[in-house]
Amino acid sequence: MSQPTPQIRLGIAGSGAIATGLARAAEDVCDTVLWARSEESAARVKTSARVVTDLSELADRDVVVEAVVEDPAVKRDLLARLCDVLSGDAILATTTSSLSIEELAAATNRPERFCGLHVFNPVERMDLVELVLHEAATEDTHRRMHELCEALGKNAVEVPDIPGFVVNRLLFPFLFEAVRLADEAGLEPEAVDACMKMGAGHPMGPLALLDFVGLDVAVAIGEQIGAEVPARVRELADQGKLGRKSGAGFYEYG
């Protein structure tokens, strides 16, 4: 009788929407530990995965996924710290949605065991994972990351290490054009979103989607892919109106 395949020991570094969504997606299929930066952050995490605040608690993980703010300096610092505690054969991945995987790999001591794992929010419901395996990644890294995606019930599509990968490279110019059209034509967000939902079959209109992603994240992605970020998006972000997570953006949220 064949032995059951052991659960992947998964570590997640971060406590935001993507990190906690990934933890919830993994909690029944992986032995999952989530690291939060502080006790306050840990208290806000809603998952049955084990939540810790000591980075060394991730030392025994097979795969650790960094899922913190889309800031290259913050990511590089955390990735370097993770390398200090992980075992030699552990794989390190990042959920970046737009940054260079090769450049982030350079901040680690394991570029051959490093990759991009771009999951989409809400992680529990979105099937796609953009898997970014740069040139230095070994065949073992390829195999193990595909196994992780399969365990999570995700469809992994290998994409090139280019700014924004595939989805965001195509999506954000469209979202920004929707903002420009609304401003130029004097249209309310509801009108633009209704047109795209009913006329193009989109599940969510472009302005509502920007609010869902977060306008600060949208600015960061736009800058990374070289898209022209509309002034209105920057103004809202500068005002702290980041969308759903702050209670206001193009729409107001209770």
Phi/psi at 39 (5° precision): -65, -35
* Residue with token string 């702290």: 240
Contact of 25 with 152, CB cutoff 8 Å: yes
Token pair of 185, please?
A: 């034509």
Preceding omega of 203 cis (within 30 degrees of 0): no
Please state at what angle helix 189-200 crosses helix 167-185, rounded to 10 degrees.
130
Helical segments of 186-214, H only:
189-200, 206-213
Cα-based distances in Å from 130 to 36, 92, 149, 154, 188: 24, 15, 10, 10, 33
Q: Indicate which residue of 118, 134, 142, 146 is catalytic.
A: 118
Contacts 24+ apart (CB under 8 A), 227-236: 227/172, 227/173, 227/176, 228/176, 229/176, 230/176, 230/179, 230/180, 230/183, 232/179, 232/183, 233/176, 233/179
Q: Cα(first)–Cα(last) distance of the chain, in Å?
A: 56
DSSP letter assigned to residue 124: T
Contact of 140 with 126, CB cutoff 8 Å: no
Catalytic (active site) residue 118: yes
* Catalytically annotated residues: 118
